[in-house]
Amino acid sequence: KQEVTQIPAALSVPEGENLVLNCSFTDSAIYNLQWFRQDPGKGLTSLLLIQSSQREQTSGRLNASLDKSSGRSTLYIAASQPGDSATYLCAVNRGNRLAFGKGNQVVVIP
């Protein structure tokens, strides 16, 4: 069974600092990996999708890397802003379902 881990569960950073969020997974035979953002009381919004053949994906201030051999992905958010405060979840796809991590709850302090 695919296990997806995100540590730490919660973190706070001052505004302007770069955010680094880590995701690890136990089975490297994945098709893709997605990073999501969830705001309180809302659904999940897809931020980035990295295909298994890719090493990284970028969108604006967000950059996600993927290292299948070590079972790791990292989400970088440059120059964090208070609006980046949210829970960030990663999910790996090995077929007709995604396996989700439990998320990193991020607070950006003004």
Site track for other proteins across 63-92, x = CB under 8 A: --------------------------x-x-
List CB contacts of 64: < 8 A, sequence separation 6 or more.
Answer: 33, 35, 47, 48, 50, 56, 57, 58, 73, 74, 75, 76
Stretch that binds other proteins, among 10-18, 36-44, 60-68, 71-79 (CB under 8 A): 36-44
Which one, 33 or 77, has the nearer CB to other proteins? Answer: 33
Q: How many CA atoms lie within 13 A of 51 on its CB side?
A: 2
- The reply on whether position 98 binds other proteins by CB under 8 A is yes
